[in-house]
Chains A and B, each alone.
Chain A
Amino acid sequence: MAGIVLTGASKSFDLDGRTVRAVDDVSLTLEDGEFGALIGPSGCGKSTILRMVADILKPTSGAITIHGAPPEKVRRDHGIGFVFQDPSLLPWRTALENVRLPLEVVGARGERARSTPRELLELVGLAGFEHAKPSQLSGGMQQRCAIARALALKPKVLLLDEPFGALDEITRHRLNLELLRVWSQTRTTALLVTHSIQEAVFMSDKIFVLAARPGRLTDVVEVKLERPRRMAQMAEPTFVEAVATVRASLFGDQAGSVDYG
């Protein structure tokens, strides 16, 4: 069954009485267990699409399903894991307590097999930092903690909104590898918003290329790199080709040329 399906999804916002179309008629399919990426320039509505899948925003028109169910039902059943650009950890809670938060919210209502918060912290490489407050963790560690929190309820889909956007490139590469390792153990359908072409290709099976104003889908690029992914693959022709394809979709005819007008 398809993991995430958007059918003609659109979203308009009212800005000072003007209607702005942020997302225009986007249809896409991500299979169960696949890793997808949404890439595009700022203003292309990629974060809006992610928030519609998470049922934080409702589409103005069109339909979205997650494993065949509407996002609202999946959200209410605690089936969505979301990692924000800003880790959004609660500063008064320790790393362990932050990871435990979703379990506290669900309480006795959800009866699903869960990993313990301690195991999750271990999974993301934060063993030994259980009792550290977020302010004592580096940016990368905070984001690892946020990933562990997103996985706490064994979600049906893992949605990532530029999770490593604020980190330096070296940390970012390392966390990408870690994220793939964690993901391969859970095999959750994952959708990543990014504005890094390399990151999109390295992480994904399928890349959805978006254009801005209004935000619309212009291309879907399949990445045929074998898993588990390794850094060395970034030098392989398949990788380089995929990067070139995505770049061409993003920039069209302007790719590789500079207009000195």
Chain B
Amino acid sequence: MARRIVASLRAALPFLVVIGLSLLLEAAVRAGLTPRTIVGPSRIFEVLAADRRNIWFNVEPTLFTASTGLLIAAILAFLLGFLVYGLRGLEAPVLTVAAVLTSVPMIALAPALTTLLGLSMATRVAITAVICAFPMIVATVQGLGASSSGSRELFTVLAASPWQRFRLLALPSALPYLFLGAKIAAPLAVLGAMIAEWTGAEQGLGVYMINAMFSLNVGQLWASVFVACAVSMAAYGLIALAETLAVPDRSAERNGL
């Protein structure tokens, strides 16, 4: 009994900390201890409730940009991973180019791509895809090469065809890595979509945030920060959920990756 209480307390602890900090912030704001550019949680919820139509209107395109960008990046990563799986010699060049691309600051990349491709949804999706491709490329390349030497020899002894080797060994071995890459990339996709919107869009969470900033509407600004966090966490959670459904006992963390 006591053990169960301890266990549930441990599970609840992160939430208790967040609630505690929020209450502390609220108290500090009400007591006038904070600068006026900081608003309390209650004010954020007020804005969220009052401005919900406008916020949803702006969140929708961001969700679309982020998920499409993530999907394109995943497809790209998978194709590159497959290529490297077939031609091991390509591993170093592919990873190097990907690393160089990801070393370019996102905030520099976005305007550069926008001037190149013009102001459009396609441009914003492309920016997002570039930003979240790297972790997925690394994860796919590593994952497809992750099978043990014993199991590779087993497939040799079984005289398996290259396709059987890929389908029955390499791909299932790679799954935990693919999910790990996607979990890192999903919040990046939300970030990427917002950065893309900053460089030019009519609507989107990034636009809402910029507008709030330039009109010094701190309530809306913090509300947009809150929504951005929530969307990022939801994106991560969705991938994690898909992972528990697809590979119930083999998540990468559990195998110590």
A interface residues with partner B (beta carbon < 8 Å): 51, 54-56, 75-78, 80-82, 84-88, 90-92, 101-102, 104-106, 133, 135
Expressed in whole angstroms, the Cα–Cα distance for A101 and B175 within the complex equals 19
Query: Would you list which residues of chain B between 131 and 161 have a CB under 8 Å from chain A?
Result: 148, 150-151, 153-160
A104 near B172: Cβ-Cβ < 8 Å:
no
Q: List 6 A-B contacts (CB under 8 A).
A: A56-B153, A86-B150, A87-B150, A88-B153, A90-B172, A105-B159
A75 near B148: Cβ-Cβ < 8 Å:
no
4 smallest A-B Cβ distances: which pairs? A88-B150, A82-B157, A84-B150, A105-B158
Instruction: Check: B34 CB closer than 8 A to any chain A CB.
Output: no
A75 near B249: Cβ-Cβ < 8 Å:
no
CB distance from A119 to the nearest CB of B (A): 20
Considering the complex, give the chain B residue whose CB is closest to the CB of A87: B150
Scoring A75, A101, A104, A133 by chain B CB atoms within 10 A of each residue's CB, the highest score goes to A101
Q: A75-B159, A105-B168 are in contact. Are A82 and B250 (CB under 8 A)?
A: no
Expressed in whole angstroms, the Cα–Cα distance for A133 and B154 within the complex equals 18
B158 near A84: Cβ-Cβ < 8 Å:
no
Interface of B is mostly: helix
Instruction: Check: B79 CB closer than 8 A to any chain A CB.
Output: no
CB distance from A217 to the nearest CB of B (A): 24
Q: A92-B247, A104-B168, A105-B168 are in contact. Are A82 and B154 (CB under 8 A)?
A: yes
* Chain A neighbourhood of B150, CB < 8 A: 84-88
Q: A82-B154, A84-B150, A105-B164 are in contact. Are A91 and B159 (CB under 8 A)?
A: no
Q: Which of A82, A86, A101, A133 makes the CB contact (< 8 A) with B168?
A: A101
Tier of interface size on chain B: 10 to 19
Q: Which of A54, A86, A105 makes the CB contact (< 8 A) with B160?
A: A105
Instruction: Check: B252 CB closer than 8 A to any chain A CB.
Output: no
* Chain A neighbourhood of B158, CB < 8 A: 78, 101-102, 105-106
* Chain A neighbourhood of B168, CB < 8 A: 90, 101, 104-105
Q: A84-B153, A90-B151 are in contact. Are A78 and B249 (CB under 8 A)?
A: no
Could you give, for residues 151-186 of chain B, a 1 whenever the CB lies within 8 Å of some chain A CB and a 0 otherwise?
A: 101111111100010001100100100000000000
* Chain B neighbourhood of A90, CB < 8 A: 151, 168-169, 172
Expressed in whole angstroms, the Cα–Cα distance for A84 and B153 within the complex equals 9
Expressed in whole angstroms, the Cα–Cα distance for A88 and B155 within the complex equals 11
Expressed in whole angstroms, the Cα–Cα distance for A112 and B153 within the complex equals 23
CB distance from B58 to the nearest CB of A (A): 42
Expressed in whole angstroms, the Cα–Cα distance for A56 and B249 within the complex equals 31
CB distance from B160 to the nearest CB of A (A): 5
A88 near B159: Cβ-Cβ < 8 Å:
no
Q: A54-B157, A88-B148, A88-B151 are in contact. Are A133 and B164 (CB under 8 A)?
A: no
Expressed in whole angstroms, the Cα–Cα distance for A85 and B158 within the complex equals 17
CB distance from A104 to the nearest CB of B (A): 7
B250 near A91: Cβ-Cβ < 8 Å:
yes
A86 near B148: Cβ-Cβ < 8 Å:
yes
Expressed in whole angstroms, the Cα–Cα distance for A87 and B151 within the complex equals 9
Could you give, for residues 192-214 of chain B, a 1 whenever the CB lies within 8 Å of some chain A CB and a 0 otherwise?
A: 00000000000000000000000
Expressed in whole angstroms, the Cα–Cα distance for A76 and B158 within the complex equals 8
Expressed in whole angstroms, the Cα–Cα distance for A102 and B169 within the complex equals 12
* Chain A neighbourhood of B153, CB < 8 A: 51, 56, 82, 84, 88
Expressed in whole angstroms, the Cα–Cα distance for A211 and B164 within the complex equals 39
* Chain B neighbourhood of A102, CB < 8 A: 158
* Chain A neighbourhood of B172, CB < 8 A: 90, 92
* Chain B neighbourhood of A135, CB < 8 A: 249
* Chain B neighbourhood of A54, CB < 8 A: 156-157
CB distance from A109 to the nearest CB of B (A): 9
Expressed in whole angstroms, the Cα–Cα distance for A102 and B159 within the complex equals 9
A76 near B159: Cβ-Cβ < 8 Å:
yes
Scoring B153, B158, B164 by chain A CB atoms within 10 A of each residue's CB, the highest score goes to B158
Expressed in whole angstroms, the Cα–Cα distance for A91 and B174 within the complex equals 12
Considering the complex, give the chain B residue whose CB is closest to the CB of A72: B159
Expressed in whole angstroms, the Cα–Cα distance for A85 and B164 within the complex equals 23
* Chain B neighbourhood of A85, CB < 8 A: 150
Expressed in whole angstroms, the Cα–Cα distance for A252 and B47 within the complex equals 89
Expressed in whole angstroms, the Cα–Cα distance for A92 and B176 within the complex equals 11
CB distance from B147 to the nearest CB of A (A): 9
